[in-house]
Structure 1
Amino acid sequence: MQPHLATSRPDTPWLPVLAALLGLAVAVRRPAPIPALLLALLSTAGADPLGVMEPALAAILLTAYTVGTVSERATAAAVAIGCAVLLCAGFAVAERLLALDSQGGPVPSVIGVLAGIAVGQATATRRQLLVALKERALRAELALEEEARRRVAEERMHIAREVHDLVAHHISVVNVQAGVAAHLLRERPEAAGEALGHVRTAARTVLDELGAVLDVLRGSGDPRAPLEPLPGLADLDRLIDSFGGAGLRVDRTVSGAPRSCPPAVDLCAYRILQESLTNARKYGRGRAKVTMSYTDQELTINVRNECADARERDVPGTGHGLIGMRERIASVGGTLVAGPAPAGEFAVLARLPLDGSHLTDGNRDDPSVAR
């Protein structure tokens, strides 16, 4: 029985060499994938005649898989084709010139190379897809966070403009009437009551309007909360009267046929007039001229006043009020020019579109656009 076993086993002195070559190919497949694959293919020259192709095929599959995972598609295809040609040519040379007896031929090795590279390419593609999806998700998350920050910043600016417009005019009235009352208390105490009444009315108005703003910000669900409409050009007479009570004479001229306009534009026009007249009362000589011109496409508002101090005339657009006016007008698609004018005047010129073409259907009737 012993002689039979000896004749059935392959030539054992070559097995350690073959094992060393296959082990080396597997060991260096990551730093040098293509040389490792070529080394594994070279090992088949000894593995096939010895009848031990299984370890060689395992090494070919593993090294080919590594080549597929780390190579570009064109490189992987070139390596696969080159290895197939090399295997076919090598086996043909071995059979014809060296007279080696091939048991399986090049087909198993070629299939091993092609299958390993194909699976490696599929794995690499899947990894790249996962990386791309993660990057896209990260960009989307960052975009959402940036959009949230932008909306918060815009809302803060809206609130700041609204509070400024609500408070500035009435506080100016309080300041003027308090000064009048202080003067009358010294000379005609009995006449100071009217000025103090104006102070009380303006202060109450400020408190009521600020309370309404706070109710909106808090999301108050109280059905008794006031739901007064926002001001517009229909309230212009009352606005001018309030400035008259504060000592500012307003001369108004209207040309063209007044026409209705989108609520956002209506509120914007009112706030522009309110802020312009507030500045005229604070820095002017007690008189302002308002010119309003209507056309089919736009409303032009021109407010002019003489400056009590020439230095105020030379510093246009530095206050929060003018910044707020520019932001309001930009939100409805209009334009604003504010600055020194001839004859020592300060002028505010606003042009507001009346057709609402700049507004989307969702905000055409939303006055908060102009806030």
Structure 2
Amino acid sequence: MTSPLDIVIVGLTLSSSWGNGHATTYRALIRGLEANGHRVLFLERDVPWYAANRDLPDPDFCRLVYYSDVDGMIGSHAERLQAADAVIVGSYVPEGVQVIDRLMDLGVRRLCFYDIDTPVTLAKLARGDEEYIARRQMPLLDAYFSFSGGEVLDRLQREFGVRTARALYCSVDASRYEHTGEPFVWDLGYLGTYSPDRQPTLERLLIEPARRLPHRRFVVAGPQYPADITWPDNVARIEHLPPSEHASFYSRQRFTLNVTRADMIAAGWSPSVRLFEAAACRTPIISDAWRGLDELLPEGRALVIARDTDDVVEALTAIDEPARLALADSARAIVLHEHTGLARARGFAAALADLPETLDQPGQPRISA
């Protein structure tokens, strides 16, 4: 086991799961770190949209501190930042470029980036959009932990000069995601915030099947869907579903649908946390197709890959109960072995411990790779 580490994470949000996938990703990882004996300080920008929707304002597995501006955050925590074994900055942190620059000037022992949006980040950088990380900063980082694996890691090193690129997939807290034993309410459900690039797939793989199967029941949970969407009568809507209700939601579905953003399909090897949550709850998954999915959850054995409406209709009408349960059990076994927060935290801590300290003397600014 890795010796206890002192880790500081500057992330988008830990306190609120509203409209983002970052909070649940951080929660599973940090709970795993705490269970493995590591200490974590999480610094979160205090913004009104998360402040109004906090479902975990005071976690018991780490210290969470809100800050109002970059200068104040650095000034208040400079000593802890310099002493930490590693400082991690996450994607989509407000004024992220300034945060990284200030940490470089401060001289932290190991400075890393955790990109929970890697395909989106690379697409933004290709357009010259440096919203939360600048291309010039990437070679100066000690490690770049990526939501996406596979070919993306080679690209980070080859095109962007990243020294060390490692996959850090999302994970699930198995103690909070398990089947609740509730009776089925829906034949197929989907959990996800509205996204314009996902909506055509949701139309093809859930809304059109609902039209073809009017006696079956469907559900879509998540915020920000436009008011002008026409939902079939047999599709229920839930505006927001906090993580505390996810296990119940999955457990009441015969199948659940996974829909992936276009940038992540293009990159491949970018599993959503929803895959792992559903599998841990023993709910069979129907997913769109992308490179690397079969390596995580083998098609036909651990999930159904749907390429069109007919594939979904067939899964809902032709897969019998023993086959449905076999899919669920296979996916659950894989996830509980490889994709829990405890497993992910062990790998993450080991990777951090293996990184050399860039600075001979902490507190000195890093000025070159």
Same fold (TM over 0.5): no
TM-score of the two chains, using structure 1 as the length reference: 0.20
Q: In terms of Rg, which structure is larger?
A: 1
TM-score of the two chains, using structure 2 as the length reference: 0.20
RCO comparison, higher one (Cα < 8 Å, 6+): 2
**More strand by percentage:** 2
